[in-house]
Structure 1
Amino acid sequence: MKKIILADDDFLVRSYLSQLVDWEANGYMLAGVAQDGEQALELAEKLKPDIVIADIDMPVMNGIALLQKLKEKRNPARVVMLSCHDDFEYVKEAMRIGADEYLLKDAVTPEKLLQTLKEIAPAESDAAAEDTKELTEEQERKQLLQLLEGTVLSCESIAPDAVIAVRLTEYEETMAYQPVEQRELFYHSFRQTCEGAGRNLEEVRCVHVRGGLFAVLCQFHAGMSRQSQQLALRETASSLVQEADRHFAIAVKVGVSDAAEYSTDTSVCWSGAKDALEHAFYQPGSIFYAWQCGKMGNMLPRAAEEFLKEAEELAAHRDSAEIKTMLAAALESFSQEQTRESLVAGWLHSADRKLGVETRPMPKRFSDLREIVQVYPTVCEEMLPDVGQYSKGVADTIRFIQEHYRENISLTDAANAVHLTTTYLSFVFHKETDITFSEYLQSCRINHAKELLERTNERVREIGALVGYNDNRHFSRIFKKTTGMTPQEYRKEWRK
């Protein structure tokens, strides 16, 4: 019979874990209980346990120090660390030192505890199984992914009736660039949390699909009505969102499949869950149910296609008014048809390329897309709205400035280009536009500089040269006088 020592400074936790399972019936003996690491170390030297279950954060001597002492004394006991969700750095250190496993306190169930004990210290008859534990875990993950893909129809560990798709909304910012070891610790803890959220379900399995996407496979209790099934799924989804925020301080979006007519086809449930999740692009909220959401649009709307067809020609004619009109129609069609995010992303890439805008990443929300595409009209928008309202000489001068503002041009250059005297052009330009030639030239340059600061990572000096200012100090001074901020301050403020 395997001997176990339990160490935790919280009396309620010690009592709960002491009574969580029938130790003897499962081949274990709870040989001792300690309230800190120092007591646990004394018991370990005296009782020679096979397993030590210790809280990672205890007074006098914490779990990390206890683990180090056990290793120094060459104590062969297997060590399981108990942790809270905010103990990641401690957990990482414990696993580095040599802890065999760790459990999240909030997610410990009798089944989870016994399974963990069996894996780290199997009975003698199970010795061969220990050698294949990692392979078995990987096989289960492979089976679950195959269930989702539809390449297999059953799995030994669960018979799913519904699937919940969970996406970390800030995955790229929080986890994508973390060390592999830390990501794996997070995935392990997050899966435990997801599985613990399904308290009203018969069985739950969570699998990391890719990036920030997880699948939670749910099996209902026998005989549950459709209404009861949906209620259980609602409670599980709500718990997932709350637990992710409370324990990991991360936001998630959740798509929940319906199970009323899917029988054993898990891939159909998975498709339904992902479809429901896609509505998060258009709608506020964190949870989206397949039985409430409509179908996603699988084709690019006609208005969006028309915009792409006409974009280059409209830009060449500097027709900002028509661009605004067609752009509004394209965006409205996306919203009405709930077009798939991947199709909208392809449309954005094509539109950027056709209008000469540096390619931008796809935003996470449709409202943000509405904001970033407003750059399209400004690409060809004229500083003075409708040149048709001015005399030919002034209209030609406006076009001359817009085409040559990057160069070292002057009023004389413009006068020569439009075949007017310098004095007359200065007079008539100011009379018709209410601003001087120099003021319009400066505004044109600063407006384009603002666009470059917003859309590119070019250095300020290079941007100044691109809009006609070869003297960087002069450019910065004029920019601040016009906008109230230096170029660096403007870029920082705009990207907040």
Structure 2
Amino acid sequence: MKRILLADDDFLVRSYLSQLVDWEANGYMLAGVAQDGAQALELAEKLQPDIVIADIDMPVMNGISLLQKLRERRHPARVIMLSCHDDFEYVKEAMRIGADEYLLKDAVTPEKLLQTLQELAPADDEEETQERTEEQEREQMLRLLEGTILSCESIAPDAVIAVRLTEYEETMAYQPVEQREQFYRSFLQTCEGAGKNLAAVRGIHVRGGLFAVLCAFRPGMGRQSQQLALRETAAALVQEADRHFAAAVKLGVSDAAEYSTEISSCWRDAKNALEHAFYQPGSIFYAWQCGKMGDMLPRAAEEFLKMAEDLAARRNSEAIKTMLAAALDGFTQEQTRESLVAGWLHSADRKLGIETRPMPKRFSGLREMVQVYTTVCEEMLPDVAQYSEGVADTIRYIQEHYRENISLTDAANAVHLTTTYLSYVFHRETDITFSEYLQSCRINHAKELLERTDERVREVGALVGYHDNRHFSKVFKRATGMTPQEYRKERRKS
């Protein structure tokens, strides 16, 4: 009989789920109930449940932290996350670090809960035994990669290839657990079949969209022959992933270990090489060609975070642009790790009052995302009474006519100034150009229409002055980091 541990800080939810199904009649036992993640972790160690059903947002220790602790301790329990509609980012993180399934609280029915439990815990003993053996082999190979053991029974590897599915979040993360596991099995078979010039190949699913391919060389192969075999294996893997799964992959390939005990070092080198995909085009990155990724924020990036709030308060958009450019150049020069860049972007958004946005998959996308900081200039502008009459009249003119195809010349004629003088005085008093203010005005009104109306994107663009839909979408993404469709979808989730 499968043992269930339930964790939720809401008493009503705990009571509802505890009585939702007849546990024993369906082959389960409700072994324990916890009211926060810390208590759930303690009960998991004591009761050894087969399945943990946990709320993703709990006090003391939330569901994400509970899941991390269970995975770190190699607890065998399968984990189902309970979430609300507005927990999307939490759910993505939970699936990335190893949750087996998730359920929306307001959509849980007896039938849905039992179906999910049955998919996670098939009743067939023979199947359970096979899965347990496979999991034990996987755990052994993971420990080999981590360096906590020096050998494993399945393979004596000489090198490692780190494989990342580039569209994992979009294609696999939210599929039913059974479908995901079937994909993992098929994908790993493809990985293992790519190493025709190697003595042995074993693939394992590490977490989320990350896989490891352990490679053993044929006896007597020299270093050049070993590297050639790894190149051929990597090239075949990329080709086969596209052919059989229509999946794009990025690969980090380690060099050969000098001693078999250095496989954990090979795994670190392979992951380090894989991180170069954030900055560089291509699908395959070789450790013997890649330098070490930067483990600290560049000085220019730190300086931007220190100055961001002050620059925003003083409406100094030129300084923001200059310091941003220096920060991005620093990231490129030092090849800063993607995780550090993501943390920097989150902090910069917070300091400048921008809603948190998803991190782009490539560094080139970051250059477009940061342009949102100059788009907020419209909100930085104080009351028009702070400006000279000509500039104040120009701001009013833009706010009244932004829907039309207006230009600096049109505004200059309207406020009775020369085009050259208006351009100069507008920038001097506001710290932004006429074009930047016009664009930010249009984009902000477009955001409002996307949130509050069901107008088509093309129509929204026309309503704010963009009559070329492709141009509107391009400008909107450059300013916000999202397409109009993505922005509408995100905003309506909250």
TM-score range, shorter chain: 0.5 to 0.7
Deviation at 1:204, TM superposition (A): 0.9
For 1:241, the equivalent position in structure 2 comes to: 238
State the one-letter code of the partner of 2:132: L
Which structure 2 residues correspond to residues 405-444 of structure 1 after superposition, within 5 A?
Answer: 433=422
| 1:185-216 residue CA offsets vs partner (Å, 9 max, x unmatched) | 11110000000111111111100011111000
Deviation at 1:133, TM superposition (A): 3.1
For 1:370, the equivalent position in structure 2 comes to: 367
Structure 2: which 5+ runs fail to align? Answer: 1-123, 401-412, 427-432, 477-481, 487-494
Which structure 2 residues correspond to residues 126-141 of structure 1 after superposition, within 5 A?
Answer: 132-141=129-138
Asked if structure 2 preserves the Cα contact closer than 8 Å seen for 1:304 and 1:329, the reply is yes
Asked if structure 1 preserves the Cα contact closer than 8 Å seen for 2:375 and 2:440, the reply is no
Deviation at 1:398, TM superposition (A): 6.2
Match of 1:200 among 197, 200, 209: 197
Asked if structure 1 preserves the Cα contact closer than 8 Å seen for 2:304 and 2:327, the reply is yes
For 2:389, the equivalent position in structure 1 comes to: 393
The worse-fitting range, judged by mean Cα deviation, of 253-262 and 346-355 is 253-262
Match of 1:231 among 198, 223, 228: 228
Asked if structure 1 preserves the Cα contact closer than 8 Å seen for 2:297 and 2:336, the reply is yes
Deviation at 1:359, TM superposition (A): 0.9
Cα 1:215–1:378, aligned 2, differ >3 Å: closer, same or farther? same
Which structure 2 residues correspond to residues 202-221 of structure 1 after superposition, within 5 A?
Answer: 202-221=199-218
| 1:80-109 residue CA offsets vs partner (Å, 9 max, x unmatched) | xxxxxxxxxxxxxxxxxxxxxxxxxxxxxx
- Alpha-carbon distance in 2 for matches of 1:367, 1:339: 14
Deviation at 1:450, TM superposition (A): 1.2
Give SS of 2:260's match.
coil
- Alpha-carbon distance in 1 for matches of 2:449, 2:156: 51
Which structure 2 residues correspond to residues 341-490 of structure 1 after superposition, within 5 A?
Answer: 341-380=338-377, 392-395=388-391, 433=422, 447-451=440-444, 453=446, 458-460=451-453, 480=463, 482-484=465-467
RMSD: 4.1
Cα 1:335–1:441, aligned 2, differ >3 Å: closer, same or farther? closer
Asked if structure 1 preserves the Cα contact closer than 8 Å seen for 2:445 and 2:464, the reply is no
- Alpha-carbon distance in 1 for matches of 2:324, 2:434: 28
| 1:110-137 residue CA offsets vs partner (Å, 9 max, x unmatched) | xxxxxxxxxx9xxxxxxx9998433222
Match of 1:275 among 272, 280, 285: 272
TM-score (norm 1): 0.59
- Alpha-carbon distance in 1 for matches of 2:195, 2:461: 61
Asked if structure 2 preserves the Cα contact closer than 8 Å seen for 1:275 and 1:296, the reply is yes
Asked if structure 1 preserves the Cα contact closer than 8 Å seen for 2:273 and 2:287, the reply is yes
Asked if structure 2 preserves the Cα contact closer than 8 Å seen for 1:165 and 1:255, the reply is yes
| 1:1-25 residue CA offsets vs partner (Å, 9 max, x unmatched) | xxxxxxxxxxxxxxxxxxxxxxxxx
For 1:160, the equivalent position in structure 2 comes to: 157
Match of 1:312 among 297, 309, 313: 309
Asked if structure 1 preserves the Cα contact closer than 8 Å seen for 2:278 and 2:363, the reply is yes
For 1:48, the equivalent position in structure 2 comes to: none
Deviation at 1:266, TM superposition (A): 1.8
The worse-fitting range, judged by mean Cα deviation, of 449-458 and 300-309 is 449-458
Deviation at 1:264, TM superposition (A): 1.6
State the one-letter code of the partner of 1:279: H
Q: State the structure with more CA Rg.
A: 1
Which structure 2 residues correspond to residues 150-189 of structure 1 after superposition, within 5 A?
Answer: 150-189=147-186
The worse-fitting range, judged by mean Cα deviation, of 357-366 and 446-455 is 446-455
For 1:323, the equivalent position in structure 2 comes to: 320
State the one-letter code of the partner of 2:341: V
| 1:284-313 residue CA offsets vs partner (Å, 9 max, x unmatched) | 000000000011000000000011111111
Match of 1:144 among 141, 155, 173: 141
Give SS of 1:264's match.
helix
State the one-letter code of the partner of 2:143: Q
- Alpha-carbon distance in 1 for matches of 2:346, 2:355: 9
Is 1:297 aligned to 2:290, yes or no?
Answer: no
Give SS of 1:265's match.
helix
State the one-letter code of the partner of 2:307: E
State the one-letter code of the partner of 2:389: G
The worse-fitting range, judged by mean Cα deviation, of 244-253 and 129-138 is 129-138
Give SS of 2:150's match.
coil
Cα 1:446–1:343, aligned 2, differ >3 Å: closer, same or farther? closer
Deviation at 1:446, TM superposition (A): 6.8
Looking at both structures, which has the greater relative contact order when contacts are Cα pairs under 8 Å and sequence separation is at least 6? 2
Deviation at 1:458, TM superposition (A): 2.2
Cα 1:140–1:381, aligned 2, differ >3 Å: closer, same or farther? same
Cα 1:262–1:495, aligned 2, differ >3 Å: closer, same or farther? farther
- Alpha-carbon distance in 2 for matches of 1:278, 1:255: 8
Deviation at 1:391, TM superposition (A): 8.4
Cα 1:495–1:291, aligned 2, differ >3 Å: closer, same or farther? farther
For 1:340, the equivalent position in structure 2 comes to: 337
Cα 1:361–1:428, aligned 2, differ >3 Å: closer, same or farther? same
Deviation at 1:166, TM superposition (A): 0.3
Asked if structure 2 preserves the Cα contact closer than 8 Å seen for 1:163 and 1:217, the reply is yes
State the one-letter code of the partner of 2:422: T
- Alpha-carbon distance in 1 for matches of 2:261, 2:436: 65
Is 1:261 aligned to 2:254, yes or no?
Answer: no
- Alpha-carbon distance in 1 for matches of 2:258, 2:277: 24
State the one-letter code of the partner of 2:279: Y
Give SS of 1:458's match.
helix
- Alpha-carbon distance in 2 for matches of 1:298, 1:189: 35
Cα 1:254–1:455, aligned 2, differ >3 Å: closer, same or farther? farther
- Alpha-carbon distance in 2 for matches of 1:259, 1:455: 56
Deviation at 1:459, TM superposition (A): 2.3
State the one-letter code of the partner of 1:310: M
- Alpha-carbon distance in 1 for matches of 2:317, 2:436: 18
